[in-house]
Structure 1
């Protein structure tokens, strides 16, 4: 039994979130610089059993790929090469940034912390993971 690890990929920063081993709770893990994320994931996978990567796929309202989709697909190929035994599930990430900002406001986070894009990226990864867990949960 392993954890689910969500990735909100950006060309500058990458938000990460992880589930507990029972796959009930999604928790923000870290925001990592894009050029350091693969090393971070290698270290994390050495310590923790990751069952699946949940990679946020950016789409437009009409369901077509957004401008960042090509970068996400390139990152996906790197993940598949480095971690061939860990499957990758693509999860629609539309609106996660605005939902993350709403969650930060309703949670009482200060303006200063809301302006920190690293916080938005982590919370976006949590939302991607929660969406995946709700969609795949068997009752």
Structure 2
């Protein structure tokens, strides 16, 4: 079985996450400058088996696509041309940045590091996108505590 990758696409940098080979546990792989992402993916795909790529799908509160899709669609087209064997799906990414920032604060990461490492939010967002995909795929619902 191959890994599942997830990308939180940004105009400057992209957060990237991947599962283990059993496709159970997501983990962050870091942030990649957007202009280097195709090359980074080609290198990663040459070293690791990947079954699926999950792209964050930015939407507005009312459900319409975000303006960011005008950058994501051309990237996905180039990626499909470069890696035609790679299956690509989209996963709603509403609130992932807010959840990522909260997760980072709750993990005890100091304000100074959060300000210096802007890519950390992108990486954690990619992990959240991947976790959301896995939960949806497996029919899992997170437990809501009172």
The 2-side partners of 1:113 and 1:97 are apart by: 17
2-structure distance, mates of 1:112, 1:50 = 35
Question: Superposed, which structure 2 residues align to 1:1-139 within 5 Å?
Answer: 1-115=1-115, 116-137=117-138
- Taking structure 2 as the reference length, the TM-score comes to 0.92
The count of residues paired between Structure 1 and Structure 2 equals: 139
Q: CA deviation at 1:94?
A: 0.6
Paired with 2:60 and 2:18, the residues of 1 have a C-alpha distance of 25
Report the Cα offset of residue 117 of structure 1.
Answer: 1.5
Question: Higher mean Cα deviation, 15-24 or 107-116?
Answer: 107-116
For 1:53 and 1:113, locate their aligned partners in 2 and report how far apart those are by CA, in whole Å: 29
Alignment match, 2:143? none
Distance 2:91 2:113 in 1: 26
The answer to whether the 8 A contact 1:9-1:72 is kept is yes
1:113 is displaced (CA, Å) by 2.1
- What secondary structure sits across from 1:52 in the alignment? strand
Distance 1:70 1:48, change over 3 A: same
Higher radius of gyration, 1 or 2 = 2
- Distance in 2 of aligned mates of 1:113 and 1:72: 29
What do you get for the CA RMSD once the two structures are aligned? 1.1
Q: Which runs of 4+ in 1 moved over 6 A?
A: none
> For structure 1, which runs of at least 5 residues remain unmatched after alignment?
none
5+ residue gaps, structure 2: 141-146
